[in-house]
Structure 1
């Protein structure tokens, strides 16, 4: 009992220290930004045209909230981008993860699907965007497909590798107890694979946000990434930074969400 209390106390202290370090890291970045831009307190080291101050970016954000950008509200641009990302991301989770699990459990499925996935995975997906537009038109479908094309192989492979890394002894132990294949999957394979699956999902979030920028480069007139890209053409650096920070916040929030889900669903991870 005393050992458990000691471990719990040590873990709590480590978590508190990590939180303090994270806050200190954020404050240091903000201080560097203020130091380079002056923020109205002293002459800026960097021209505001290239790097606006945090206060200037905050004022621009508020202005965009009030007046919008190019005829649409900031909320409209955000929701459009969120919908584009969310549809593609959800498709990859709902379809890609089960496909990866099947590939990990069945050699025949892996033999059929692994070659096309591995061959297409290294291809830069943004280079395929013009081809997707030719095939699927200039609407939302081509934008979703370019994001799916980048995330689907990653989630599939991470799920496949997670299954294949499950200890064979665990499976044999379940079989010796008379467990059916369905029970083995539900009680052994899936729980043991979840940490690897969540890792693949979290890595995919950052790549998905990056691909969102590429998806909104062509044939659209709304979206956060589109707002930032068009603002860059007019050297509106403050608007660009607002867009970049919103996308960064989107990616960070989704990552935190899946961390919480992982902690809730995979609470045994690291406790063997």
Structure 2
């Protein structure tokens, strides 16, 4: 596979988006696509400025985003706090894996919205059911990544540690955990993506606030410009979250790729 330097890669990426923006502008301004279906870029920008100044349905844009991110970050915090140790222990101790893994593998393929109604029934329609749904959605990718990471640790590293007199605790924290960090971050990045999409779906089903709710509420009144603003904001914030995680990973796992 031919390699590209970073400069060329960024130029191609920017060029792709410029072409897409031009097509969007051309198709909407020439009347080839009705504005009710796809608003023009300038109409979308005007709507964004209006929502930024006046908010939507009595809540500022920052307020809508804050509500969504509050739900997601609380769920991710608990998912990371529990999935990493459980995943590492499951990969390191097979009896422990026999207990936990089957439960995770059972619910992991289920669409989150399939059991969301049960969570609402058990926990109510408030924030608890939404955060629990996001927690379950984020837990599985991190757990699976941790189990897989432990299985890929080279046996030579463990044997070398034992030959130098290291006990199981020292081997786990000094060899296994650092070796698993790259895959752990991959699992966290995957979990953030899954949790974000699940969050938007949950807000569209049962919520009265949040960026996902804003999009579904606008769709009821055929406000395609508001829908486009919400979708674009979701996409941009999703990319920014991933870039932040990549930056944190490059600082924590500084030896990766060297």
Which residue of structure 2 aligns with residue 15 of structure 1? 6
Matching of residue 97 in structure 1 with residue 97 in structure 2? no
Matching of residue 173 in structure 1 with residue 160 in structure 2? yes
Which residue of structure 2 aligns with residue 35 of structure 1? 26
Matching of residue 119 in structure 1 with residue 87 in structure 2? no
Matching of residue 247 in structure 1 with residue 234 in structure 2? yes
Which residue of structure 1 aligns with residue 250 of structure 2? 263
Aligned pair partner of 2:93 in 106, 113, 127: 106
Contact conserved, 1:144 with 1:215, CA < 8 A, in 2?
no
CA distance in 1, matches of 2:49, 2:82: 39
Cα RMSD after superposing both structures: 1.5
Report the CA distance between 1:217 and its aligned residue.
2.4
The one-character-per-residue Cα deviations of 1:159-198 (angstroms, maximum 9, x if unpaired) are 1111111111111111111223232222211111111111
Contact conserved, 2:79 with 2:136, CA < 8 A, in 1?
no
1:123 aligned counterpart, secondary structure = coil
Which residue of structure 2 aligns with residue 25 of structure 1? 16
TM-score (norm 1): 0.90
Gaps of 5+ in 2: none
TM-score (norm 2): 0.94
Gaps of 5+ in 1: 1-10
Contact conserved, 1:231 with 1:237, CA < 8 A, in 2?
yes
CA distance in 2, matches of 1:177, 1:22: 49
Count of matched residue positions in the alignment of Structure 1 and Structure 2:
256
Aligned pair partner of 1:79 in 62, 66, 82: 66
CA distance in 1, matches of 2:95, 2:236: 41
Moved more, 101-110 or 262-271: 262-271
Report the CA distance between 1:204 and its aligned residue.
1.8
